[in-house]
Amino acid sequence: MSKKITLTIDGTAIDFDVTPAHHERLINEMQPNEKVEPTHNFLVRCVAPESKEALKPFLENPTHVMAIGTHLINKVVPAIEVAVGE
């Protein structure tokens, strides 16, 4: 099931269509020393076709890539509470 999300980035609305497969692929591609490229690829895979051009300038800065990716993931993944038992 996909989830449609609109993020407003520097005043520009950018639409994404995120599926569980997109999120799983992002997790599988991340390595201890490789986070920006998988996140970049995740954003490119998830962006709606009509928003691709609007997203492009933000993909040039790794810090922007990570910030946008983090916000998008936080909208997709439901919050859970985890406690360590004794």
For the chain, the structural domain boundaries read 3-76
- pTM confidence score: 0.89
> Which pLDDT score is estimated for 8?
97
CA triple 25-69-63, angle to 5 deg: 125
Q: Are 26 and 42 in contact (CB under 8 A)?
A: yes
- For 58, the enclosing helix (H) or strand (E) is none
60 Cβ contact list (under 8 Å, min separation 6): none
Helices (H) and strands (E) in the chain, counts: 4, 2
In CATH, the architecture of 3-76 is: 2-Layer Sandwich (3.30)
Q: Report pLDDT digits (tens) over 16-51.
A: 999 999 999 999 999 999 999 999 999 999 999 999
